[in-house]
Amino acid sequence: MKSIGEIWTWGANSHGQLGLDITSEQIEKPTKVVTEFSDAIKHIACGGAHSLLLDCQGKLFSCGWNSKGQLGHKKDIYTFSRIWELSGINFINISCGWDFSCAVTDDNFLFVWGSNSHGQLGLPKKHFGDTIAPFRLQVNVCSISMGLRHTAMINSKGEVWATGCGRHGQLGLGEDITSSDRFQRIPKLTKISHIACGQNHTVGWSSEEKALYVWGENKHGQLLLNSQEYRKIFVPQKIDINVKKDVKKLLSGWTNVLLWLQDGSLLTWGRNNKAQLGTGAPFTGKIINIKLPDNRYVEDVALGSEHTICLATDKTLWAWGWNEHANTGLPCTAEVISCPTQVKIETNSTINWIFAGGAHNFVVTDSNKESGCNDIDK
């Protein structure tokens, strides 16, 4: 059988979302996941307390919390288990919201399942309930992100479509549309290349324009506007942040945002009550440029709800932010890790891929490099 490398995990595990076949308040240090996968791993997505895994053959697996059917199974499962209802379909992308999930097929159609309490799956509540088994939507999807109660996606034209709760403006559809139970196009956004949903906000990046677009809640400055004057933004606002480099990733936690640039820079802003911005300094309302120690260069970065993990090109792993459930992989005697701090993993293998969400994390070691299967977000 082909070697697929090792999966290591840590953080909150109250619903078995780490795939370790146990439930516990937390797993305090990186722990190896025992699996029987026959194919290399392409991507792992983390929800509030559930996890999705996509392998290089396009098959889906899930584990963790299943209160709304977000696993695509009939019950909670504590190890990564194949979603057989979606077998025979080749998937290329996955995303998780708080208690809902989605996957994109190789012909760019979208399957959604889990909670539809606020219409976040894009399914009319008049005809569908609050809990949805995997269902295919006839929409064209190139990129997708899920937040607490809303979803936003980019199609092949660079248009942004959104659905779900919009009472904070996170749908970008104007003050008169505070909820939607089907995807609606956000007017005037036609060149968006990256999209990220936070708790109650959405951010987009246009590679063509080298411009940031923001909408939704701004009470923590996550939209880079004065939070006293602009508490909620109901239509996208274009923000000039003077970034001329290409963007590799646009990510959002609950109330903070991060841009990873082609030159390796990490730019972040928003709430900093848990040191989400990689600094213990008081909130300043401006962009923070995070530096790894000793001028290390960034190979990858991933955000949870209020913490960050980062892989350097020398294959060292770093973390900062909220640590109440050992989210960072560092001793949970410290509730907050205020600056990039190295995380040790007891393996001789080399880390190549990192994933985070909610309060939990996964890293995948070196055999995936040999398989030619890359993380879809890179």
- Express each pLDDT in 197-222 by its tens digit: 999 999 999 999 999 999 999 999 99
Specify the pLDDT at position 340: 97
pLDDT value at residue 67: 97
Model confidence, pTM: 0.95
Give residue 5's pLDDT.
79
Mean pLDDT on 260-276 = 95
Kindly tell me if the per-residue pLDDT of 283 is higher than 80.
Answer: no
Mean pLDDT for 81-107 is 97
Q: pLDDT over 70 for what percent of the chain? A: 95
pLDDT digits (tens, 9 = 90+) for 15-47: 999 999 999 999 999 999 988 777 899 999 999
Q: Confidence band (pLDDT; 50, 70, 90) for 88?
A: very high
> What's the pLDDT at 122?
98
Please report, for residues 26, 207, 309, 313, 358, the alpha-carbon distance to residue 253 in angstroms, rounded to integers and kept in the order given: 20, 21, 12, 23, 8
* Averaged pLDDT of the chain: 94
- Could you tell me the pLDDT band of residue 329, with boundaries at 50, 70 and 90? very high
Q: Which domains does the chain have, with CATH numbers?
A: 7-371 (2.130.10.30)
Indicate if the pLDDT at residue 191 is higher than 90: yes
Counted residue by residue, the chain has a size of: 378
Q: Which residue carries 């146990």 as its tokens?
A: 22
Give the pLDDT score at 1.
30
Nearest to 258 by CA among 279, 294, 280, 287: 287
Predicted pLDDT of residue 195: 98
Number of neighbouring beta carbons within 10 Å of residue 316: 18
In this model, does residue 2 exceed pLDDT 50? Answer: no
